[in-house]
Amino acid sequence: MRRILMFFAGILAGSAAGAGIAMLFAPAAGKEMRASLRSRFQEIIEDSARAAATRRIELEAELDSMTTPPKDTSG
């Protein structure tokens, strides 16, 4: 378990370092870069919220189907 956590910590650290280097060497001006990052971050937040809402509906429907007793078909 510890190896997995360390692996993901390494991925996170590498991503952060890569993002920092990309910002240093990016051709866009600072204000433009921040606006672009802010816009992209907002899109990610909105996409995540939509995905979470959709998944919640799916899980609630699945839970409902598991907790609802089956209909008597014996007649």
Asked whether the whole model's pTM tops 0.75, one would answer no
Which tens digit of pLDDT belongs to each residue from 6-18?
888 888 888 888 8
Residue 42: band (very low, low, confident or very high) from pLDDT cuts 50, 70, 90: very high
Give the burial class of 33: count Cβ atoms within 10 A of its Cβ; 0-12 exposed, 13-18 middle, 19 or more buried.
middle
Collapsed DSSP state (helix, strand, coil) of residue 58: helix
Task: For residue 28, give the DSSP letter.
Answer: S
pLDDT at 60: 93
pLDDT at 75: 56
Better-scored residue on pLDDT, 23 or 4: 4
